[in-house]
């Protein structure tokens, strides 16, 4: 099993020995892989260009600094800006000066997201990326101030800090799902499960809107997916209880998701469950959960796989000896 | 004495768990607190990157979708032409309806097509004004652009669509409808 590195200090062993929620003791190579993969996700989330000329329905920072948000939006199409972001991301991926690069990347994604969401059409597509960057920035700055390791803190990236950063990353993802569960229960109470039988209306609405995007039926690119939305709609209309079980399972996962912070096995279970759920919804409704799927794969599923691979390779080596 | 020691241990563990999950608690609060945006209902809890993630928090008995057409009522593939998905157009239209419904003191689905017109006109205008030059040329060829709305509802175990309602029309150079 991957273990603690020399000099680790995430939690005192005596206190954590029998507690439920602890940071997973990732090995350095796992942290490097996660950081590099997440850098690619950040790159993917940054828009190539932003044409918005104003903020007709300002939200977030655009409420206070509308001109700054609009002005920043114009940078996204510029070559110098893309080059600067690429350099910033490369430094972030290498793990150097994370306390500087992470907040800067947060700023870039927040300006992009704020401008997009201030057009009168709120989207939560890339929100998870910014939420994760915010949690990481907070963790890094807190650690720097608390432990006053100015030299190593500013430029280096000790393993124990990276372990904490990975744990707050998982917490940011979990927070998003828990808030979503709270909103559902606050808006509809337990009636949500009863009303979930009306999901086919949403399904039809989304497939019709997907059609008008390209004037092409959603799912018609692949023979396997041909008529999948229509077949799903018919199945769910015929069996309201099946509909409640399938859609309700998503809310149950959201309610219980805090358990994903209890170690690799729990994280792996919830990661796989959410990725399956998002992928299914994405296929039948044409909705985009790419960033959720990427982040769940990197910070929840991958650690479970890597631990199994390490255990398996050690067992094989032992047997061969 | 033993009980006291146990309680102390439990207390220590609880504090440890709380300390470990402090970022989670802070993030949840940060997502739920922003009710400060001045926008209408759909905007109120949004303060990027914080959100109360309202998607599918309620399943209504009926819902609607919108699409854009040219003057001959031929649908326009908005994503292909202008890189704007119809979901985005629907959200923009819906946000406009938030303020219209306040004015008429009605639910959104009780508003007539005529009452929805300012919102629809604005949505089509927004699509045109935020499009690239190439997309605008295509739109110009089919002016006026129109926005249609179709409701979906369930009747006797089947999903039924209402006939399309004209809820917006706009052409370049035309004056906006006053709300």
A194 CB within 8 Å of a chain B CB: no
**Do B88 and B6 belong together in one domain?**
no
CA nearest A137 in B: which residue?
B23
Are A100 and A154 in contact by the 8 Å Cβ rule? The answer is: yes
At which of A138, A171, A204 does a domain end?
A171
B121 CB within 8 Å of a chain A CB: no
pLDDT in tens, B132-156: 889 999 999 999 999 999 999 999 8
Q: How many domains does chain B have?
A: 2
A74 CB within 8 Å of a chain B CB: no
Q: How far is CA B52 from CA A186, A187, A225, in A?
A: 11, 11, 32
Confidence bin at A3 (pLDDT 50/70/90): very low
pLDDT in tens, A233-250: 888 888 889 999 999 999
User: What is the reported pLDDT for A51?
Assistant: 78
Q: How far is CA B77 from the centre of its chain?
A: 20
**Do A158 and A245 belong together in one domain?**
no
**Do A196 and A95 belong together in one domain?**
no
At which of A171, A199, A232 does a domain end?
A171
Q: Quick check: is A7 in a domain?
A: no
* Distance to chain B for A105, nearest Cα, Å: 13
Q: How far is CA B29 from CA A32, A178, B34, in A?
A: 30, 11, 9
**Do A278 and A207 belong together in one domain?**
yes
User: What is the reported pLDDT for B3?
Assistant: 85
Q: Quick check: is A246 in a domain?
A: yes
pLDDT in tens, A98-109: 999 999 999 999
**Do B27 and B88 belong together in one domain?**
no
**Do A39 and A137 belong together in one domain?**
yes
Over residues A294-299, the mean pLDDT reads: 97
For chain B, how big is the Rg over CA atoms in Å?
24
A109 CB within 8 Å of a chain B CB: yes
**CA-CA distance, A133 to A122, in Å (whole number)?**
20
User: What is the reported pLDDT for A12?
Assistant: 45
User: What is the reported pLDDT for B148?
Assistant: 97
User: What is the reported pLDDT for B43?
Assistant: 60
**Do A35 and A159 belong together in one domain?**
yes
Cβ <8 Å between B48 and A237: no
**CA-CA distance, A299 to A47, in Å (whole number)?**
23
**Do B77 and B148 belong together in one domain?**
yes
Does A9 or B70 have the greater pLDDT score?
A: B70
Pick the closest to residue A300 from A273, A275, A267, A277 (CA basis): A267
How many CB atoms sit inside 10 A of residue A158's CB? 17
Average pLDDT score, chain A: 87
Task: Bin B56: left if φ > 0, else alpha if -120 < ψ < 50, else beta.
Answer: left
A261 CB within 8 Å of a chain B CB: yes
Q: Quick check: is A134 in a domain?
A: yes
A241 CB within 8 Å of a chain B CB: no
At which of A171, A199, A216 does a domain end?
A171
User: What is the reported pLDDT for B176?
Assistant: 54
Q: How many domains does chain A have?
A: 2
Note down the domain range covering B9. Answer: 2-32
How many CB atoms sit inside 10 A of residue A136's CB? 26
Contacts of A183 in chain B (CB under 8 A): 52-54, 57
Cβ <8 Å between A168 and B23: yes
**Do A106 and A143 belong together in one domain?**
yes
**Do A31 and A150 belong together in one domain?**
yes
Contacts of B66 in chain A (CB under 8 A): 209
Are B110 and B35 in contact by the 8 Å Cβ rule? The answer is: no
Structure tokens at A223: 């023979």
- Which range has the top average pLDDT, A102-111, B8-17, B41-50, B93-102? A102-111
Over residues B86-111, the mean pLDDT reads: 90
Average pLDDT score, chain B: 87
Q: Quick check: is B45 in a domain?
A: no
Q: Quick check: is A11 in a domain?
A: no
Are A267 and A303 in contact by the 8 Å Cβ rule? The answer is: yes
Element containing residue B23 per DSSP (H, E):
helix B22-32
Confidence bin at A276 (pLDDT 50/70/90): very high
pLDDT in tens, A69-96: 999 999 999 999 999 999 999 999 988 8
Q: Quick check: is B138 in a domain?
A: yes
**Do A156 and A195 belong together in one domain?**
no
pLDDT in tens, A178-233: 999 999 998 889 899 999 999 999 999 988 998 999 988 766 555 666 677 788 88
**Do A196 and A301 belong together in one domain?**
yes
Q: Quick check: is B53 in a domain?
A: no
Q: pLDDT over 90 for what percent of chain A?
A: 59
Cβ <8 Å between A201 and B60: yes
Over residues B110-115, the mean pLDDT reads: 92
- Phi, psi (deg, nearest 5) at residue A143: -65, -40
Contacts of A230 in chain B (CB under 8 A): none
Cβ <8 Å between B65 and A61: no
The two beta strands, B145-155 and B165-170, are: antiparallel
Structure tokens at A242: 């099946």
**Do A155 and A202 belong together in one domain?**
no
User: What is the reported pLDDT for A230?
Assistant: 81
Q: Quick check: is B42 in a domain?
A: no
pLDDT in tens, A58-71: 888 998 999 999 99
Q: Quick check: is A115 in a domain?
A: yes
Note down the domain range covering A282. Answer: 190-315
Question: What string of DSSP letters covers B57-116?
Answer: S---SEEEEEEEE-TT--B--HHHHHS--HHHHHHHHHHHHHHHHHHHTS-GGGS-HHHH
Are A243 and B59 in contact by the 8 Å Cβ rule? The answer is: no
Q: Quick check: is A52 in a domain?
A: yes
User: What is the reported pLDDT for A256?
Assistant: 97
pLDDT higher than threshold 50 for residue A126: yes
**Do B66 and B8 belong together in one domain?**
no
Q: Quick check: is A295 in a domain?
A: yes
Task: Compute the half-sphere exposure of residue B151: CA atoms within 13 Å on the CB side of its CA.
Answer: 15
Q: First-to-last CA distance in chain A?
A: 18
ipTM: 0.84
Q: Quick check: is B178 in a domain?
A: no
**Do B28 and B98 belong together in one domain?**
no
Over residues B69-86, the mean pLDDT reads: 94
**DSSP 8-state secondary structure symbol assigned to residue B148:** E
pLDDT higher than threshold 90 for residue A152: no
pLDDT higher than threshold 70 for residue A162: yes
**Do A127 and A163 belong together in one domain?**
yes
Beta-carbon contacts of residue A180 (< 8 Å; ≥ 6 apart) = A254, B53, B55, B57
**Do B166 and B106 belong together in one domain?**
yes
User: What is the reported pLDDT for A44?
Assistant: 96
In chain A, which among 201-220 make CB contacts under 8 A with chain B? Answer: 201-202, 204-206, 208-210, 212-216
Q: Which of A15, A49, A120 to mutate to test the interface with B (most CBs of B within 10 A)?
A: A120
**Do B82 and B140 belong together in one domain?**
yes
User: What is the reported pLDDT for A157?
Assistant: 74
In chain B, which among 81-100 make CB contacts under 8 A with chain A? Answer: 85-92, 95-96
Q: Quick check: is B69 in a domain?
A: yes
Q: Quick check: is B177 in a domain?
A: no
Confidence bin at B36 (pLDDT 50/70/90): low
Q: Quick check: is B51 in a domain?
A: no
**CA-CA distance, A215 to A208, in Å (whole number)?**
10
Q: Quick check: is A58 in a domain?
A: yes
Question: What string of DSSP letters covers A62-130?
Answer: GGT-HHHHHHHHHHTT-HHHHHHHHHHHHHHHHTTTHHHHHHHHHHHHHHHHHHHHTTS----TTHHHH
- Phi, psi (deg, nearest 5) at residue A101: -65, -40
Contacts of B81 in chain A (CB under 8 A): none
**Do A154 and A213 belong together in one domain?**
no
B6 CB within 8 Å of a chain A CB: no
**Do B12 and B80 belong together in one domain?**
no
Q: First-to-last CA distance in chain B?
A: 74
User: What is the reported pLDDT for A30?
Assistant: 93
């Amino acid at each position: 099993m991957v273990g603690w590195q020399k000099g680790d200090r995430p939690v005192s062993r005596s206190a954590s020995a029998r507690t439920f929620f602890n940071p997973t003791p990732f090995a350095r190579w796992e942290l490097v892989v996660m950081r590099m993969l997440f850098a690619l996700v950040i790159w993917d989330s940054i828009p190539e260009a932003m044409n918005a000329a104003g903020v007709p329905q300002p939200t977030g920072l655009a409420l206070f600094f509308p001109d700054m948000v609009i002005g920043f939006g114009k940078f996204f199409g510029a070559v110098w800006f893309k080059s600067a972001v690429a350099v910033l991301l490369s430094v972030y991926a290498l793990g150097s000066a994370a306390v500087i690069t992470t907040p800067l990347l947060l700023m870039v994604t927040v300006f992009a997201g704020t401008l997009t969401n201030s057009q009168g059409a709120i989207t939560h597509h890339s929100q998870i990326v910014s939420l994760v960057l915010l949690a990481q920035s907070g963790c890094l700055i807190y650690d720097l101030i608390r432990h006053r390791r100015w030299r190593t803190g500013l430029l280096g990236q000790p393993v124990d800090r990276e372990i904490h950063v990975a744990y707050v990353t998982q917490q940011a993802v979990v927070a998003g799902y828990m808030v979503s569960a709270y909103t559902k229960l606050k808006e509809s109470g337990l009636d949500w499960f009863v009303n979930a039988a009306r999901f086919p209306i949403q399904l039809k609405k989304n497939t019709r809107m997907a059609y008008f995007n390209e004037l092409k039926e959603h799912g018609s690119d692949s023979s396997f997916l041909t008529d999948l939305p229509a077949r799903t709609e018919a199945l769910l209309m015929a069996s309201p209880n099946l509909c409640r079980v399938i859609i309700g399972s998503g809310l149950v996962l959201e309610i219980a998701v805090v358990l994903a912070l209890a170690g690799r096995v729990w994280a792996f279970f919830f990661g796989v469950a959410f990725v399956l759920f998002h992928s299914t919804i994405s296929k039948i409704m044409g909705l985009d959960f790419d960033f959720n799927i990427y982040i769940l794969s990197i910070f929840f599923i991958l650690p479970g796989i890597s631990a199994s691979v390490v255990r398996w390779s050690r067992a094989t080596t032992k047997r061969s000896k | 004495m033993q009980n006291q020691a146990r309680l102390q241990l439990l207390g220590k563990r609880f504090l440890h768990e709380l300390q470990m999950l402090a970022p989670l608690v802070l993030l949840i609060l940060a997502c739920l607190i922003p009710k400060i945006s001045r926008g209408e209902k759909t905007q109120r809890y949004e303060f990027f990157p914080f959100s109360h993630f309202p998607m599918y928090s309620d399943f209504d008995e009926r819902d609607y979708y919108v699409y854009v057409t040219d003057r001959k009522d031929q649908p326009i593939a908005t994503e292909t032409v202008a890189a704007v998905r119809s979901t985005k157009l629907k959200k923009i239209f819906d946000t406009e309806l938030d303020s219209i419904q306040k004015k008429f003191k009605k639910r959104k689905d009780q508003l007539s097509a005529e009452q929805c017109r300012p919102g629809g006109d604005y949505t089509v205008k927004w699509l045109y004004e935020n499009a690239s030059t190439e997309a605008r040329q295509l739109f110009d060829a089919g002016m006026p652009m129109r926005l249609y709305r179709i409701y979906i509802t369930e009747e006797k175990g089947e999903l039924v669509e209402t006939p399309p309602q004209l809820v917006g029309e706009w052409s370049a150079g035309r004056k906006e409808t006053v709300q």
